[in-house]
Structure 1
Amino acid sequence: MITKLDIQEKDGFLIMEDFPANCIFNKVKTGCGATTIALTNCENYIIAVPTTELIENKCYPTKDVDGNVKFWKKHERKAGLSPVVTNLFGLYGNFTLELKKKLKDYLSSAGIKKIICTYDKIDKLMEFINPVDFKLMVDEYHNFLKQYSFRDKAINGVLAHFKEFKSYCFLSATPIPKDLKPSIFNGIPEYIANWSESDEITVYPYHTDKPYMVAAKFIKTYQTKGCLNVNGIESKEAYFFINSVTEIKAILKQTQLTEDDYRIICADNLKNRSTLGGYTISGSTDAPKRFNFITSKSFEGVDFHSETGLCFVVSNVQNRHTLVSIDMDIPQIVGRIRTKSNPFRNKVVHIFNTKATDHYTTFEEMEQIVDEEVKAAQERADMFNNAKLSEPAIKQQVNEIKKVGVESYLSYQENKFIVNDMVAKLQLYSYYIATVVYQSDQSLRNTYIQSGMTVTRGKWYVAPEKFVKDLISEPTFRELHKRYCEIKEKPMTFNLGIIEIEHRYPILGRAYRQLGIKELKRLRTIKAIKNALGEN
Structure 2
Amino acid sequence: MTTETYKLSKDQFLEYLEPFKSRGLPTDSIIHKMVTGCGATTLELKFPRNSIIIEPNLPVIKGKCDKLNKKLRKNKVVQGVYEGIDVEQIKQYLKNRKGYKKILTTPEGFEKVAEAIGESMYKDYFLLFDECEKAIQDVEFRSDIINPIDAFFEFDNKAFVSATPLIPSDPRFNKFTQVVIEPNYVFAEPISIYTTNNIVYQLKLILDHYAASKEDAERKIFMFFKSTKRIRNIIKGLRLKDYAVYCSEKSVKELRVADVEHAYDGINDKFAKYNFLTSRFYSAVDIDYDQYKCDPIIIMISDVIAVEHSVIDPKTESIQICGRFRKPEKIEGEPEIIVQKDIYHISNYSSKLTNFSEAEITSILEDKGKLHHFISTYKPKSDVEYINKFIDEILELNGFGYFLREKDGALNHFMVDNFINTERVKGYYKSARSLKEEYANAKHFLVDAGSNYVNYCLDDEQLSQIKDSTTSITLNDFVSSWVKDIMENTADPLWQEVNINMIKYSYPEQINILQAYGMKNAAEFDYSINTILKQLADSKGLKRMLPILKFIQRTFKIGNKYSSAEIEAGLIKGIAETGLNDLKPGLRLLREGAMLSERKTIRKDEQGKSVKGHEVLGYVQSF
Matched, 1:160 2:154: no
1:339 alignment partner, one of 327, 345, 353: 327
The answer for the alignment partner of 1:143 in structure 2 is 134
Matched, 1:210 2:198: yes
Per the alignment, in what secondary structure is the counterpart of residue 150 of structure 1? coil
Q: Distance in 1 between matches of 2:82 and 2:94?
A: 16
Deviation readout 1:51-83 (Å, 9 max, x if unpaired): 11111221224xx89xxxx9xxxxxxxxxx866
Q: Once the 2 structures are TM-superposed, how far is the Cα of residue 275 of structure 1 from its aligned partner?
A: 6.6
Matched, 1:465 2:457: no
The answer for the alignment partner of 2:221 in structure 1 is 238
The answer for the alignment partner of 1:46 in structure 2 is 52
Q: Once the 2 structures are TM-superposed, how far is the Cα of residue 370 of structure 1 from its aligned partner?
A: 4.2
1:112 alignment partner, one of 100, 104, 129: 100
Q: Distance in 2 between matches of 1:381 and 1:323?
A: 34
Per the alignment, in what secondary structure is the counterpart of residue 90 of structure 1? strand
32 and 468 in structure 1: CA distance in 2 versus 1, 3 angstrom threshold:
farther
376 and 352 in structure 1: CA distance in 2 versus 1, 3 angstrom threshold:
closer
307 and 342 in structure 1: CA distance in 2 versus 1, 3 angstrom threshold:
farther
The answer for the alignment partner of 2:403 in structure 1 is 409
Matched, 1:422 2:408: no
Q: Once the 2 structures are TM-superposed, how far is the Cα of residue 44 of structure 1 from its aligned partner?
A: 0.7
Matched, 1:33 2:21: no
Q: Which amino acid aligns with 2:243?
A: Y
Matched, 1:286 2:269: yes
85 and 101 in structure 1: CA distance in 2 versus 1, 3 angstrom threshold:
closer
209 and 361 in structure 1: CA distance in 2 versus 1, 3 angstrom threshold:
closer
Per the alignment, in what secondary structure is the counterpart of residue 166 of structure 2? coil
Q: Is the 8 A contact 2:49 2:126 kept in 1?
A: yes
Q: Distance in 2 between matches of 1:85 and 1:337?
A: 30
Q: Once the 2 structures are TM-superposed, how far is the Cα of residue 2 of structure 1 from its aligned partner?
A: 4.1
Deviates more, 1:439-448 or 1:404-413: 404-413
- Which segments of 5 or more consecutive residues in structure 1 lack a partner in the other structure? 71-80, 229-233, 390-395, 453-457, 470-536
421 and 466 in structure 1: CA distance in 2 versus 1, 3 angstrom threshold:
closer
The answer for the alignment partner of 1:6 in structure 2 is 6
The answer for the alignment partner of 2:234 in structure 1 is 251
Q: Once the 2 structures are TM-superposed, how far is the Cα of residue 338 of structure 1 from its aligned partner?
A: 0.9
Matched, 1:348 2:330: no
1:222 alignment partner, one of 172, 193, 210: 210
Matched, 1:432 2:438: no
Q: Once the 2 structures are TM-superposed, how far is the Cα of residue 308 of structure 1 from its aligned partner?
A: 1.2
Q: Is the 8 A contact 2:356 2:423 kept in 1?
A: yes
Q: Distance in 2 between matches of 1:187 and 1:152?
A: 25
Q: Which amino acid aligns with 1:144?
A: A
421 and 41 in structure 1: CA distance in 2 versus 1, 3 angstrom threshold:
closer
Q: Once the 2 structures are TM-superposed, how far is the Cα of residue 406 of structure 1 from its aligned partner?
A: 9.9
Per the alignment, in what secondary structure is the counterpart of residue 55 of structure 1? helix
Deviation readout 1:314-356 (Å, 9 max, x if unpaired): 11012122110111111111111112534434x5200111112
Identical aligned residues as a percent: 24
Q: Distance in 2 between matches of 1:374 and 1:94?
A: 42
Per the alignment, in what secondary structure is the counterpart of residue 313 of structure 1? strand
Q: Distance in 1 between matches of 2:109 and 2:373?
A: 30
Q: Which amino acid aligns with 1:112?
A: Y
82 and 368 in structure 1: CA distance in 2 versus 1, 3 angstrom threshold:
farther
Q: Distance in 1 between matches of 2:257 and 2:166?
A: 33
Q: Distance in 2 between matches of 1:368 and 1:274?
A: 44
**1:432-511 mapped onto 2 (5 Å cutoff):** 432-434=424-426, 436-452=427-443, 458=444, 460-465=445-450
Q: Is the 8 A contact 2:29 2:158 kept in 1?
A: yes
Q: Is the 8 A contact 2:56 2:130 kept in 1?
A: yes
Q: Is the 8 A contact 2:193 2:451 kept in 1?
A: no
Matched, 1:371 2:353: no
Q: Which amino acid aligns with 1:344?
A: Q
Matched, 1:269 2:250: yes
Per the alignment, in what secondary structure is the counterpart of residue 171 of structure 1? strand
Q: Distance in 1 between matches of 2:449 and 2:10?
A: 34
Greater C-alpha radius of gyration: 2
TM-score by length of 1: 0.70
Q: Distance in 2 between matches of 1:43 and 1:312?
A: 40
Q: Distance in 2 between matches of 1:339 and 1:22?
A: 31
Q: Is the 8 A contact 2:138 2:145 kept in 1?
A: no
275 and 13 in structure 1: CA distance in 2 versus 1, 3 angstrom threshold:
farther
Q: Distance in 1 between matches of 2:323 and 2:135?
A: 20
Deviation readout 1:203-239 (Å, 9 max, x if unpaired): 11012222233323333333343454xxxxx771111
Per the alignment, in what secondary structure is the counterpart of residue 231 of structure 2? helix
The structure whose RCO (Cα within 8 Å, separation 6+) is larger is 1
330 and 369 in structure 1: CA distance in 2 versus 1, 3 angstrom threshold:
closer
106 and 9 in structure 1: CA distance in 2 versus 1, 3 angstrom threshold:
farther
Q: Is the 8 A contact 1:90 1:116 kept in 2?
A: yes
Q: Distance in 1 between matches of 2:5 and 2:144?
A: 33
Matched, 1:322 2:303: no
Q: Once the 2 structures are TM-superposed, how far is the Cα of residue 425 of structure 1 from its aligned partner?
A: 2.3
330 and 466 in structure 1: CA distance in 2 versus 1, 3 angstrom threshold:
closer
Q: Once the 2 structures are TM-superposed, how far is the Cα of residue 276 of structure 1 from its aligned partner?
A: 4.4
Q: Which amino acid aligns with 1:137?
A: L
Per the alignment, in what secondary structure is the counterpart of residue 149 of structure 1? coil
Q: Once the 2 structures are TM-superposed, how far is the Cα of residue 139 of structure 1 from its aligned partner?
A: 0.3
TM-score by length of 2: 0.61
2:90 alignment partner, one of 95, 99, 103: 103
The aligned length equals: 419
Q: Is the 8 A contact 2:223 2:275 kept in 1?
A: yes
244 and 83 in structure 1: CA distance in 2 versus 1, 3 angstrom threshold:
farther
Q: Once the 2 structures are TM-superposed, how far is the Cα of residue 464 of structure 1 from its aligned partner?
A: 2.6
Q: Once the 2 structures are TM-superposed, how far is the Cα of residue 191 of structure 1 from its aligned partner?
A: 1.3
Q: Once the 2 structures are TM-superposed, how far is the Cα of residue 309 of structure 1 from its aligned partner?
A: 1.0
Q: Distance in 1 between matches of 2:75 and 2:66?
A: 8
Per the alignment, in what secondary structure is the counterpart of residue 249 of structure 2? coil
Q: Is the 8 A contact 2:5 2:180 kept in 1?
A: yes
Q: Once the 2 structures are TM-superposed, how far is the Cα of residue 369 of structure 1 from its aligned partner?
A: 4.7
Q: Is the 8 A contact 1:3 1:190 kept in 2?
A: yes
Deviation readout 1:386-420 (Å, 9 max, x if unpaired): 99x9xxxxxx99x979988997122254xx53122
The answer for the alignment partner of 1:487 in structure 2 is none
Q: Distance in 2 between matches of 1:331 and 1:378?
A: 39
Per the alignment, in what secondary structure is the counterpart of residue 148 of structure 1? coil
Q: Distance in 1 between matches of 2:257 and 2:432?
A: 31
Q: Distance in 1 between matches of 2:34 and 2:423?
A: 25
1:301 alignment partner, one of 284, 308, 313: 284
